[in-house]
Amino acid sequence: MIRAHSVESVRAAEAAAMAQLPEGELMSRAALGLAEVAAARLADTDGTTVVGLIGAGDNGGDTLYAVAHLAESGFACAVVLVPASGREGVHAAGLAAAEAAGVMVHEAAGAAAAAAEVVAEADVVLDGIVGIGGRPGLRPDAARLVDAVDDDAWVIAVDLASGLDPAGEEGEDDAVWANETVTFGTPKPVHLLPAGEAATGRLTVVDIGIDVDDVPPAVERLTWDDVAGLWPVPGSGDDKYSRGVLGVVAGSEAYPGAAVLTTTSAAEAGVGMLRYVGTPTPVGLVHQAVPEAVVGDGRVQAWVVGPGLDTDADDSDARTQLDAARAALASDLPVVVDAGGLALVEGRRDVPTVLTPHAGELARLLTRLEAAAQGTDDATSAAPEPGPSTDDARSSVNRPAEVTADDVKADRLGHARRLVALTGATVLLKGATTLVVTDGEPVRSQADAPPWLATAGAGDVLSGVIGALLAAGLTPHDAASLGAMVHGVTADRVSGGGPLRALAVAHGIRPTVRDLLARGRSAPS
Ligand SMILES: NC(=O)C1=CN([C@@H]2O[C@H](COP(=O)(O)OP(=O)(O)OC[C@H]3O[C@@H](n4cnc5c(N)ncnc54)[C@H](O)[C@@H]3O)[C@@H](O)[C@H]2O)[C@@H](O)CC1
Ligand SMILES: Nc1ncnc2c1ncn2[C@@H]1O[C@H](COP(=O)(O)OP(=O)(O)O)[C@@H](O)[C@H]1O
Ligand SMILES: [K+]
């Protein structure tokens, strides 16, 4: 498990460590680790020149000491002091160390063009403008220097890419775009969250001796080695019922294939037994594709409701299936709700529930539930109608604003949290980075899949895996995050760099789980 800690937790751990250590020791360790990484990249790329961008805080201090080490190792090193106050504004002892090591010092203040030329010559750029003390965004003078970086230069962000929000809550277009980030002590939330992950690049954590083992993380990411500890492996006393029976209400005459994808992936994930509830066409397909599934209602330990469900269909078979979907949602059993099933969610959920929207589905659900919570009409009519009567005009003023998919994409975590607050459910928000948010738990953030996974039906496969894990007794938080991780890793293996189709991902789940479990058995304890 990768754990990222909040800025407050990091500052507290740093203070505790500093109290036990000589002054400057943490910064010295940070700088040495940073210099080692930079030296390795210079060796990899046959680079010779290093430029450090130096801001006003300790992030600049780390960078000055690191550049001093690199100069002592024989690299051609320069620093550009970014603050308007020049030398007065930067870490004095770090600057003295750099100068003593022969580092060229340039002040951007009053000489912006000359400073930009220095930056443009660098093979490796160390971004020490701001770290965990930074506010989101770059000031214009800093942004101009960052723009001057050569496209072929290797950019190493010190602690975090300057301009990002350290907490990863706010997205920021105006930030350093790093090839790599060298962080200290523990990852920060921004490194793992959609708002900062792309600008972070490859992440290396330098151990500087701060202790956060007992400090609750803000964000977590499951890794391959977590599978052996979390995956439900049957014991000799188990039978198919004790392992967990999953009921699937999915597929319709309009979208029959979703039923095949969801039941196939649940079977591939090793569920004890599957029950399937659907209309005639998907029932026929499931019989053929997943002969182990039992058709019809019955006792189960968890439900998947919604992939390919057509909530607009009105024939008697569809109505029977929708009744089963509503009954599953009204039962006290754990449930995964996806796609069409999301339209049946009414508000607070008092039973273990995983909602698995993509950005557009989350936007629609939030719009509807927030309108309902405020006692207004379904907010599909959230926009004011032309020429309203006085009463209509008053009620439209009170309606909550419609949430769009673009709103969600601009702040994925914030919107996922809003749905958690409204429903009490675990919310899994799909995307290149999939977020799993549960009240009272660290956010789980998984980024295991290639973009090829953005293909129709991939979400149906995900719901089957999560359903199998819920039926086996995992918590919604673990089932959702472990399911997302295995789904993503499977997609990566099956893709191998090329196109993917959803059914191939479903068929890849079994060998992926087998290999991840074997890895756990062979890992040193
Ligand atoms: N406290 C410690 O002992 C350690 C601190 N470390 C380093 O110290 C950093 C934190 O240092 P600080 O608390 O001094 O803070 P920072 O160096 O991250 O930034 C604070 C300075 O940046 C300026 N600033 C803030 N937002 C800005 C923006 N958007 N554009 C331009 N300037 C901006 C502020 O005015 C302030 O002067 C960490 O990220 C890490 O690199 C490491 O050396 C490890 C040990
Ligand atoms: N750019 C991306 N990179 C990696 N995975 C992605 C990307 N975009 C979407 N995904 C994943 O692809 C799957 C798509 O699911 P979904 O949108 O529900 O499709 P469908 O409804 O057709 O089944 C999700 O697991 C999502 O996390
Ligand atoms: K930085």
End position of a domain, from candidates 156, 191, 221:
221
**Residues for the chain: how many in total?**
525
pLDDT at 276 over 70: yes
End position of a domain, from candidates 221, 242, 265:
221
Using pLDDT thresholds of 50, 70 and 90, give the confidence band for residue 396: low
How far is the C-alpha of 45 from the C-alpha of 2, rounded, in Å? 29
Write down the mean pLDDT value for the chain.
94
Q: What is the mean pLDDT of residues 315-338?
A: 98
pLDDT score at 375: 85
Let me know whether 19 and 127 are in one domain. Answer: yes
Q: What residue's CA is closest to ligand 2, atom 19?
A: 459
Let me know whether 104 and 252 are in one domain. Answer: no
Q: What is the mean pLDDT of residues 446-464?
A: 98
How far is the C-alpha of 43 from the C-alpha of 218, rounded, in Å? 35
pLDDT score at 179: 97
Q: What residue's CA is closest to ligand 1, atom 42?
A: 27
Give percent of the chain with pLDDT exceeding 70: 95
Q: Residue 164 is part of a domain; what is its CATH number? A: 3.40.50.10260
End position of a domain, from candidates 202, 221, 240:
221
How far is the C-alpha of 469 from the C-alpha of 122, rounded, in Å? 50
The angle formed by the CA atoms of residues 87, 172 and 14, to the nearest 5 degrees, is 55
Let me know whether 279 and 327 are in one domain. Answer: yes
How far is the C-alpha of 73 from the C-alpha of 189, rounded, in Å? 33
Let me know whether 334 and 373 are in one domain. Answer: yes
- Ligand 2 pocket test, candidate residues 252, 358, 408, 486, most atoms within 8 A of CB: 358
Three-state SS string over 214-283 comes to: CCCCCEEECCHHHHHHHCCCCCCCCCHHHHCEEEEECCCCCCCHHHHHHHHHHHHCCCCEEEEECCHHHH
pLDDT score at 523: 67
Q: What residue's CA is closest to ligand 1, atom 13?
A: 133
Let me know whether 53 and 98 are in one domain. Answer: yes
Task: Please state the ipTM of this predicted complex.
Answer: 0.91
pTM of the model: 0.93
**For residue 405, what are the CA distances in angstroms to 408, 433, 510, 523?**
5, 16, 33, 42
How far is the C-alpha of 73 from the C-alpha of 37, rounded, in Å? 13
Least confident residue range of 283-297, 373-387, 428-442, 457-471: 373-387
Distance 310 CA to ligand 3 centre (A): 49
pLDDT score at 363: 98
Domain count, the chain: 2
pLDDT score at 123: 97
pLDDT score at 376: 65
Let me know whether 217 and 238 are in one domain. Answer: no
Least confident residue range of 318-332, 390-404, 424-438: 390-404
The bound ligand whose nearest atom lies closest to the alpha carbon of 180 is: 3
pLDDT at 387 over 50: no
Q: Please report which helix (H) or strand (E) contains residue 416, including its range.
A: helix 412-423
Let me know whether 210 and 118 are in one domain. Answer: yes
Let me know whether 487 and 341 are in one domain. Answer: yes
CA-nearest of 146, 152, 185, 186 to 164 is 146
Q: Residue 234 is part of a domain; what is its CATH number? A: 3.40.1190.20
Do 478 and 235 form a contact (C-beta atoms < 8 A)?
A: no
pLDDT score at 310: 98
Question: Which domain, by its residues, includes 54?
Answer: 2-221
Q: What is the mean pLDDT of residues 231-252?
A: 97
Q: What's the pLDDT tens digit per position in 21-52?
A: 999 999 999 999 999 999 999 999 999 999 99
pLDDT at 381 over 50: no
* Residue 232, amino acid: P
Residue 392 tokens read as 């209509």
Let me know whether 152 and 280 are in one domain. Answer: no
CA-nearest of 317, 302, 321, 298 to 250 is 321
CA-nearest of 382, 374, 424 to 401 is 382
Q: What's the pLDDT tens digit per position in 340-365?
A: 999 999 999 999 999 999 999 999 99
Q: What's the pLDDT tens digit per position in 208-217?
A: 999 999 999 9
Bridge-partner residues for 304, per DSSP? 248, 336
Q: What is the mean pLDDT of residues 6-14?
A: 96
Residue 415 tokens read as 């919107």
Q: What residues flank ligand 1, with Cβ below 6 Å?
A: 14, 18, 26-27, 30, 55-60, 62, 129-135, 137-139, 142, 158-159, 184, 208
Residue 437 tokens read as 């948010």
Let me know whether 287 and 197 are in one domain. Answer: no
Let me know whether 176 and 131 are in one domain. Answer: yes
Q: What is the mean pLDDT of residues 124-136?
A: 96
Residue 255 tokens read as 């979208």
* Residue 264, amino acid: T
The bound ligand whose nearest atom lies closest to the alpha carbon of 188 is: 1
Which atom of ligand 2 is found nearest the CA of 502?
Answer: 23
Q: Find tokens 């799993």 and name the residue.
A: 436
pLDDT at 378 over 80: no
Ion ligand 3 — residues with CB under 5 Å?
127, 157-158, 162
Using pLDDT thresholds of 50, 70 and 90, give the confidence band for residue 377: low
pLDDT score at 520: 79
Distance 101 CA to ligand 1 centre (A): 23
Let me know whether 198 and 305 are in one domain. Answer: no
